[in-house]
Amino acid sequence: MSQDKGQQMGKRIGLIIGKERDWPEAFMKVVNEADDDVSAELVKLSGTMMDESIPYDVIIDRISHEIPFFRVCLHHATLKGSYIINNPFTWSADSKFFGIALVNQMGFTSPRTVVLPNKHVEKEMTPDSFRNLVYPMDWQGIVDYVGVPAIFKNINSGGRYAVYRVHSVDDLIQRYDESGTMTMILQQIVESDRHIHCFVFGHEQVMLLRYSLTDGRYFPDILPADDALGRQLVHQSLALTHAYGYDVNMVEFVLKDDQLYVINCTNPAPVMTRELMTLEQFDRCVQKIAEVAVSRVKRPLPQRSIFDHAHD
């Protein structure tokens, strides 16, 4: 990212993506065909120099939770004046356990959840390094609190990797022993066939989709936002997204016996494909995120970062 913004005609949006193709290609087409004096393209990265200028007014991040180098480059881009969707400093501090604790702090309902110590750490340690840890862990007490079957999953926000269902103490210990250096949580399963994913765009617009676990895709209808359930979903989704300041987010709910449970309160890079969604749902995601990105190009909001106090 070495070309100076001032040398460019118009404004630029850069995308940092993984293997996905549907959404990035559709997004760039929408932005580049609009008459907004704004263009969109894939960011190209190599070794990044500390005084390197950034040619993008806005960068949309879809993969830095999996590739640490990209996250470091995005931290640097904020220093150079780019607006990042979503804020890489917030995302770096985000975790599924903090999110669940926040859900309860805000008065919403979540499954019972426990965060577990790492099985291994990447650095050389001695026994004294772990003097704060109680050992052995009370595995039975943990299982009694959460209940089984339960979900054992990686704590990182974004994506759905390293997710397992466990049915007993022995099952949990086996999965824990296989978890390596990952930080994992054990979470109560709320058995229900009503899973609802709420896509939040630009701090204010919400699309409510019901997800089919059987089919592995969304139901074709978009749920109404103006009935009692819709208003509750919108309120909780917006409140949680505002707490993080994310421009794009997906909040995951389960509905059981008229009670809403927040399963995951953040997903800053939700999956959006034509295989997963109807054309209407997919096109809405493309259009709404394009509107948010172009709006941030023209009227960027303040974006907090680690160096804010340096300007006080």
- What predicted TM-score, i.e. pTM, was given to this entire model? 0.91
Q: Provide the CATH number for the domain formed by 5-92 in this structure.
A: 3.40.50.20
pLDDT, tens only, 121-164: 888 888 888 889 988 899 999 999 999 999 999 998 666 678 89
Domain 192-298 - what CATH class?
alpha beta
Mean pLDDT of the chain: 91
Q: State residue 1's pLDDT score.
A: 63
Report the half-sphere exposure of 148 (CA within 13 A, side-chain side). 16
Averaged pLDDT for residues 31-46:
92
Q: State residue 87's pLDDT score.
A: 96
3-class DSSP state of 187:
strand
Structure tokens at 185: 């949580």
Residues 137 and 151: their CA atoms lie apart, in Å, by 18
CA angle 45-46-52, nearest 5°?
Answer: 80
- The ranges assigned to domains in the chain are 5-92, 112-188, 192-298
The one-letter amino acid code at 214 reads: T
Site of tokens 């006080």: 312
Q: What is the second-level CATH architecture of the domain 112-188?
A: 2-Layer Sandwich (3.30)
Residues with Cβ < 8 Å from 133, sequence gap 6 or more?
117
Choose the weakest-confidence range: 2-11, 22-31, 49-58, 276-285. Answer: 2-11
pLDDT, tens only, 245-270: 999 999 999 999 999 999 999 999 99
125 - beta bridge partners?
Answer: none
